[in-house]
């Protein structure tokens, strides 16, 4: 509904459309606008009373979707308007995990600045550092380490961030992580 039709959404909201209506995929218009980066629509939806904590079956809130999409200004807007920075999806991922998976350093920095728990872990014990390392996002790995992420932390299966990076053949990330753990 949102993709390419920002003016239509704005018109419908101005005509009294319920901002909390669930679309055919079970998500709200706020979810779609957050995912696709339509900040104007997000602002208007919030003004019209969109429920910021609405959670479809996946557990992905608008905040998760904005973080995964790299929409830093929307992430900040949602948090300023009451989005729970620590809320987890069905897999135990926070918005910081989503930003780490997609390699969005600016979003991760903002989330950390706003109080995200750098050591929050999923149902499998996966932390943002594990996700960034296994995705090969070296800059994000450096950011997380600089902000205090534990390079020796293990998932529930016993894997470190270096192990996960090695498995995915991200050798520059492996060297970075191993240099830190060998020095300590």
- pLDDT per residue, tens digit, the chain (184 aa), is 455 577 887 788 788 889 898 888 888 889 989 999 999 999 999 999 999 987 777 788 999 999 999 999 999 999 999 999 999 999 999 999 999 999 999 999 999 999 999 999 999 999 999 999 999 999 999 999 999 999 999 999 999 999 999 999 999 999 999 988 765 5
CATH code of 122-184, in short, is: 1.25.40.20
38 bridge partner residues = none
- Where along the chain do the CATH 1.25.40.20 domains lie? 1-117, 122-184
Give the homologous superfamily in CATH for domain 1-117.
Ankyrin repeat-containing domain (1.25.40.20)
Cα separation, 169 vs 4, in Å, equals: 38
Q: What is the CA radius of gyration of the chain?
A: 18
pLDDT of residue 132: 98
Q: What token pair was written down for 83?
A: 């989005």
pLDDT of residue 25: 85
């Amino acid at each position: 509904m949102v993709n390419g039709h920002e003016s239509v959404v704005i018109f419908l909201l101005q005509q009294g459309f319920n901002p909390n209506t669930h679309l055919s995929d079970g998500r709200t218009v706020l979810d779609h606008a957050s995912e696709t980066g339509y900040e104007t629509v997000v602002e208007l939806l919030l003004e019209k009373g969109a429920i910021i904590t609405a959670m479809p079956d996946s557990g992905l809130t608008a905040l998760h979707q904005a973080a995964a999409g790299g929409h830093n200004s929307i992430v900040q807007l949602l948090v300023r308007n009451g989005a729970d920075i620590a809320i987890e999806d069905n897999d135990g991922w926070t918005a910081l995990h989503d930003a780490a998976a997609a390699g969005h350093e600016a979003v991760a920095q903002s989330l950390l600045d706003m109080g995200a728990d750098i050591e929050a872990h999923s149902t499998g014990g996966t932390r943002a550092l594990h996700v960034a390392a296994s995705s090969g996002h070296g800059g994000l790995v450096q950011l997380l380490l600089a902000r205090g992420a534990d390079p020796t932390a293990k998932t529930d299966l016993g894997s470190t961030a270096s192990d996960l990076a090695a498995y995915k053949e991200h050798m520059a990330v492996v060297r970075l992580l191993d240099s830190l753990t060998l020095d300590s």
